[in-house]
Structure 1
Amino acid sequence: MRVMVTGGAGYIGSHTVRHLTAAGHQVVVYDNLSTGFAWAVGDAPLVRGDLADHALLAETLNRNRFDAVLHFAAYTVVPESVCDPLRYYANNTLNTWRLLQACAEAGVEHFVFSSTAAVYGMPEQMPVSEEAPLAPINPYGASKMMSERMLMDLGAASDLRYVSLRYFNVAGADPSGELGQATANATHLIKVACEAAVGQRDGITVFGTDYSTPDGTCVRDFIHVEDLARAHVQALAHLEEGGESRVLNCGYGRGYSVLEVIEAVKRCSGRDFQVRYGARRAGDPGEVVADNSRMLAALDWRPRYADLDTIVGHALAWEEEGLPRRLAR
Structure 2
Amino acid sequence: MRILVTGGSGYIGSHIVLELMELGHNIVVVDDMEKGNEVNLFPSNEFIQGKIQNPEILKKAFERPIDAVFHFAAWKAAGESMTDPAKYALNNLNGTLQLISAMLENGCKYIVFSSSAAVYGAPKYQPIDENHPLSPENYYGYTKLAIEENLKWFDQLKGLKSARLRYFNAAGYDPKGRIRGLENSPANLLPIIMETASGMRKSFEIYGEDYDTPDGTCIRDYIHVSDLASAHVLALKYIMEKDESITVNLGSETGYSVKEMTDLAEKIVGKPIPHKVVNRRPGDPAKLVASSTKAKSLLGWKAQYSDANSLLSSMWELYRKL
Shift of 1:216: 3.3
**Alignment match, 1:48:** 49
Amino acid paired to 2:281: R
Query: Equivalent residues in 2 for 1:56-71 (5 A)?
Result: 56-61=57-62, 63-71=63-71
Contact 2:71–2:114 (CA under 8 A) maintained in structure 1 = yes
**Alignment match, 1:327:** none
Amino acid paired to 2:262: I
**Alignment match, 1:299:** 299
Amino acid paired to 1:57: L
> Is the alpha carbon distance of 1:212 and 1:97 closer, same or farther for their aligned partners in structure 2, counting shifts above 3 Å?
farther
**Alignment match, 2:256:** 256
Shift of 1:287: 2.4
Q: Could you report, residue by residue, the CA deviation over 1:212-256 in whole angstroms, capped at 9, with x for unpaired residues?
A: 433333221100011111111111111232342100100011111
Contact 1:78–1:140 (CA under 8 A) maintained in structure 2 = yes
Name structure 1 gaps, 5 residues minimum: 325-329
> Is the alpha carbon distance of 1:89 and 1:218 closer, same or farther for their aligned partners in structure 2, counting shifts above 3 Å?
farther
> Is the alpha carbon distance of 1:118 and 1:279 closer, same or farther for their aligned partners in structure 2, counting shifts above 3 Å?
same
Q: Distance in 1 between matches of 2:19 and 2:300?
A: 15
**Alignment match, 2:314:** 314
> Is the alpha carbon distance of 1:229 and 1:147 closer, same or farther for their aligned partners in structure 2, counting shifts above 3 Å?
same
Shift of 1:209: 3.3
TM-score by length of 1: 0.93
> Is the alpha carbon distance of 1:126 and 1:181 closer, same or farther for their aligned partners in structure 2, counting shifts above 3 Å?
farther
Q: Secondary structure at the match of 1:64?
A: coil
**Alignment match, 2:171:** 171
Shift of 1:45: 1.0
RMSD: 1.6
**Alignment match, 1:16:** 16
Query: Equivalent residues in 2 for 1:121-270 (5 A)?
Result: 121-179=121-179, 182-270=182-270
Q: Could you report, residue by residue, the CA deviation over 1:143-184 in whole angstroms, capped at 9, with x for unpaired residues?
A: 111111111111111121110110010000112223156234
Q: Percent identity?
A: 38
Number of equivalenced pairs: 321
Q: Distance in 2 between matches of 1:41 and 1:55?
A: 21
Shift of 1:78: 1.8
Q: Secondary structure at the match of 2:179?
A: coil
Q: Distance in 2 between matches of 1:88 and 1:100?
A: 17
Contact 1:193–1:262 (CA under 8 A) maintained in structure 2 = yes
Q: Could you report, residue by residue, the CA deviation over 1:271-304 in whole angstroms, capped at 9, with x for unpaired residues?
A: 1022112233355443221100000011132221
**Alignment match, 1:105:** 105
Shift of 1:201: 1.6
Amino acid paired to 2:25: H
